[in-house]
Structure 1
């Protein structure tokens, strides 16, 4: 493996050591660079800078600086409605790409929406409603060019599971719908609030590994749930639980009397067709449109087949009725008081966060592929606004769909106008074409959903997670098995808990390392990573790879002492020079609090009893300021705080006394 050049900080160390050596060789006193003490900042300004970096790191007001009031007003409106900005440069060429991609994703979304609505235990038209109004709102307010908006499988399943725990969708359909609209309203409020308060970083606490596991478990759960329609099992004979044991028991217990062979033939035939078209599209990217239009072709062919054979009279379950017309108002249906208010609020927060996580991941993925910036907070506001408006127009939670967004991207979409085109097609479908879906078999909807969710089981990502980080893999599998064997919400809870546990573990147990000198350089690195690195006689060099706070300060102190004790034991066995200096490399220590200072004071006292001197190397400005403010710098001696490890070693080595 070819050697790489040292980083800039290593070059600095080498250069300074060379300068020191040159000055010494000419008989001059060596010039030692000391750590500078940062000037004290005004408390208010320091607090202001911290708040700005936490919540406004992207400096959203930078475009407003030094602008006249009229310009600021225009920029403010454009910030809320980005379409007013990019719409000025819109042209026929872009529209040509958008109309093709819009028509393509419309052919995919219509059959999916009908199936996803059933997954959420809602009538089929509500899925179509959710692909009409929300995409229009997003096109005006969203900043992504590639996201295709509408219902998605995971959120539909999650919403259906949580809502059905509160109200039975079969015996109380109207109350169930009202609860769904109210949960959607609070999902939108949650998303918009996170965007306005710039709290989008909260969704990052759900790690990628946890999302992979959750999505995979949800995909298997969704696929198993579809076996009801795929096998022609009557609803009343099928379990309402989502765990794999209950579903499989329900399936096999009805094998002798509940399955319908005509339904199985229809479902299996078209599932095979859908999987073949998906394979064709995956093998040759030019044929991406084949799997995109395959679901609509399947719906048309299966509906025609059932109609001419009247297979519905042979036990094949069909859609029967989809209400004609566009979204009716549901403002009066929202539960804004009463016993269901709190329940819908809780369900809305969970559904909104999951929907936001999926949309954010999709948006970032395609933005990076096209090399443009995505404003996460604007996205949250846009998603929240569309769900709030959607809840008032008979929609349930909509978000970015990965399958439709991928098709949208490959079809050559240019802007969010593709969502408008899709919405127009859905509008025409609701106004004129819904009666044609009367004889659509439920088996074909089950096949479409099964083929759509297969890609959510990302086993390759799970294997990569295992190779990279075992704790991440535990989070992934915990979420997966929680969803598959218990329930969707338990799986989600497990994912969140394991993600937080990992954060706490990393914060409370930071890594430390013993450093040694790389031969022929003045660079000091981890001896486990660089076995050729040599230790300095009489000196132990420890690096702390984390900020030092109350949560880990005691551990850091004890771990440093353990490193020292281990080295002292080796010294005694090998009859080497005893340890007389302990250098703590502090460049990775970004901050330290009072508990950290106290831990260093205790470390200093402990070292004094052992006859070991404490030396610090390269503390950052925030750490240096606190070392001097707390007077700890004076306690150990200002001459024992150095700019680099090399300078610290140069100070210690001449003072190491050989054992007699």
Structure 2
């Protein structure tokens, strides 16, 4: 087989070359798998036009699909869940608006319009919409550097609305263009470190409210915050500090009790609103506002005013670029959190949510919100967990919550006049501490040290630099890891597992049997221009090392190099050139190059490039076991120290 004087007739299955498809058909298939893997329009086939229109409306407006089957039993469950999350939404909305350096009433506005939009367009039954801490911190960190929210509050609010608008446009565009894979670049390790760092910074910034400080740094890094805190020791208010510690203790106790007794989840859910009520009553009767305890003061009563004019005024502004930049950054973070939370709770109920639909829904609710005096919203974990535990059935719980916020805006805002800022700071701190997931970091250390480095880099970047710095560092390291994996793929020597036809890495299986004279190498990645040169050099080094080892052992010379191509899913022209060069290197050493287990795409490239004729169809095997078996038979049939390509000189041994 390949040698006239050492012919050994073997029956084996020849590796087939799949039929070649036209380029446009291949491109269409690849794009469909990338952008439409779920084939959302498969139900449109063979349907009349009216039915196609209805299916189209139901796809983009999911409420039209499930609303006709909605029952009163569902409404009872959604009503209870909606009222429960409303009790959390009101204090959180006011608190997070303060974190974003916005008037507190904007936090309430943001819990009214966006949930209504999401209820119509969202595909998750459990996601509860509202403002979140990390994007709020990002907004004040990025926009606040351009415009001081205290010196020019009107322009600052306009830029926040503009950032929310651009975030919504960016999010909806990703969904419409089916480009949700961009969000996948935020790895689990990146999110753990980033969220932990952001939560740490948020907690530190709440020291302003806890200690009753009036002047505080606008920077978000640890050094600036600590310097601002300890440079004003003489300004600390003990009354505010005591009140803050008491409410923090109360919030932690209720959370601890709810975790121990899952049936009493509502105690933890109602704790923030209870804190606001108790704090307001305490301040009202003790007149603590006259003794250093800062209060919210007047909240504007009434529905969301339109903010289209504020949006339009920023489009010609010199600050437009900072609004666009902020919108894109916070939009990605909000998407990552909202989709991750929605998928997590959907898994508990065994249903599927469409990531692209979620992006469209979140984007549209932020576009609508930016036009109605709302700032960025998504699906926060804490509120969604309460919604889930309260037994919600559909997105109607968001409508119930929005209705409760509507009643609050119309009639109850005067009741928040005496709400102490320190209580809002305590609510934020208690919520943020749960985001510092040190157990996840320890878990990463035990499984993957590189992921741990990514996590810690994100955390350190956020805490000692800025929120955006930490995010950029973490994403950059994650991308570097991907590039290293592609550019430096792992190759390994393979041996035979005893009593089987399987061949595995001898590093993983030390007892694997190695056959002298035959070097079996596994390539564990596609071969592209980025790694072709490295693979050529690495294979050459494997040959050098193997020949040196055989020379020292005084056994067979190296006669066959078998490349296991099972993990090589694709190959470009640089990969083809690499194989040609490896073939030449092997020929100069009188070594035969053998390929095993090549995939369909690889065989197409080998056939089109004619390299299959250079290597020889007979030297391409279906499995590594077949390749080793044939090569071993030839080794036995030829002189031990004669190269495979010189077998014709071994007549006297046959």
Question: Which range, TM-score by smaller chain?
Answer: over 0.9
Aligned residue in 1 for 2:296: 319
Alignment map for 1:198-347 (pairs within 5 Å): 198-234=178-214, 236=215, 238-255=216-233, 257-334=234-311, 335-347=314-326
Structure 1 distance, partners of 2:246, 2:68, is 48
Aligned residue in 2 for 1:110: 90
Q: CA deviation at 1:29?
A: 5.6
Partner residue of 1:163 out of 140, 143, 146: 143
Alignment map for 1:70-85 (pairs within 5 Å): 70-85=50-65
Q: CA deviation at 1:443?
A: 0.5
Partner residue of 1:595 out of 568, 574, 580: 574
Structure 2 distance, partners of 1:65, 1:383, is 29
For the residue of structure 2 that corresponds to 1:114, the secondary structure is helix
Contact residue 109 and residue 373 of structure 2 kept, 8 A: yes
**What are the Cα deviations for residues 211-269 of structure 1, in whole angstroms up to 9, with x where unaligned?**
110000000000000010011111x2x111111111111111111x2111111111100
Aligned residue in 2 for 1:427: 406
Contact residue 97 and residue 106 of structure 2 kept, 8 A: yes
Contact residue 130 and residue 377 of structure 2 kept, 8 A: yes
Aligned residue in 2 for 1:4: none
Q: CA deviation at 1:121?
A: 0.4
Structure 2 distance, partners of 1:321, 1:352, is 31
Q: CA deviation at 1:424?
A: 0.6
Query: Considering only aligned residues, what root-mean-square deviation do their CA atoms show, in Å?
Result: 1.1
For the residue of structure 2 that corresponds to 1:165, the secondary structure is helix
Aligned residue in 2 for 1:348: 327
Aligned residue in 2 for 1:489: 468
- Structure 1 unpaired stretches of 5+: 1-27
Give the ranges of 4+ consecutive aligned residues of structure 1 lying more than 4 Å apart after TM superposition: none
After TM superposition, the structure 1 stretch with the greater mean CA deviation from structure 2, 161-170 or 86-95, is 86-95
Structure 1 distance, partners of 2:83, 2:53, is 36
Structure 1 distance, partners of 2:593, 2:641, is 20
Structure 2 distance, partners of 1:572, 1:462, is 48
- Structure 2 unpaired stretches of 5+: 1-7, 643-654
Structure 2 distance, partners of 1:281, 1:563, is 60
Structure 1 distance, partners of 2:393, 2:542, is 58
Structure 2 distance, partners of 1:406, 1:552, is 45
Aligned residue in 2 for 1:624: 603
1:582 to 2:561 alignment: yes
1:142 to 2:122 alignment: yes
Aligned residue in 2 for 1:179: 159
Structure 2 distance, partners of 1:342, 1:221, is 25
Aligned residue in 2 for 1:11: none
1:449 to 2:428 alignment: yes
After TM superposition, the structure 1 stretch with the greater mean CA deviation from structure 2, 480-489 or 575-584, is 575-584
Structure 2 distance, partners of 1:576, 1:59, is 58
**What are the Cα deviations for residues 612-660 of structure 1, in whole angstroms up to 9, with x where unaligned?**
1100001100000100110111001110001101111122112224138
**What are the Cα deviations for residues 2-36 of structure 1, in whole angstroms up to 9, with x where unaligned?**
xxxxxxxxxxxxxxxxxxxxxxxxxx964210100
Structure 2 distance, partners of 1:230, 1:267, is 5
Aligned residue in 1 for 2:99: 119
Aligned residue in 1 for 2:170: 190
Q: TM-score, normalised by structure 1?
A: 0.94
For the residue of structure 2 that corresponds to 1:371, the secondary structure is coil
Structure 2 distance, partners of 1:584, 1:369, is 44
Q: CA deviation at 1:576?
A: 2.5
For the residue of structure 2 that corresponds to 1:400, the secondary structure is coil
For the residue of structure 2 that corresponds to 1:528, the secondary structure is coil
Aligned residue in 2 for 1:5: none
Contact residue 493 and residue 520 of structure 2 kept, 8 A: yes
Q: CA deviation at 1:297?
A: 0.5
Contact residue 142 and residue 322 of structure 2 kept, 8 A: no
1:43 to 2:20 alignment: no
1:507 to 2:507 alignment: no
For the residue of structure 1 that corresponds to 2:217, the secondary structure is coil
For the residue of structure 2 that corresponds to 1:185, the secondary structure is helix
**What are the Cα deviations for residues 37-89 of structure 1, in whole angstroms up to 9, with x where unaligned?**
11111121111111111111111111111111111010000011101111111
Q: CA deviation at 1:463?
A: 1.0
Q: CA deviation at 1:342?
A: 2.0
For the residue of structure 2 that corresponds to 1:432, the secondary structure is helix
**What are the Cα deviations for residues 537-589 of structure 1, in whole angstroms up to 9, with x where unaligned?**
21011111111000111111212222222222222222222211000000110
Aligned residue in 2 for 1:129: 109
Structure 1 distance, partners of 2:445, 2:589, is 43
Q: TM-score, normalised by structure 2?
A: 0.95
For the residue of structure 2 that corresponds to 1:516, the secondary structure is strand
**What are the Cα deviations for residues 511-545 of structure 1, in whole angstroms up to 9, with x where unaligned?**
11111001011111111111111112210111111
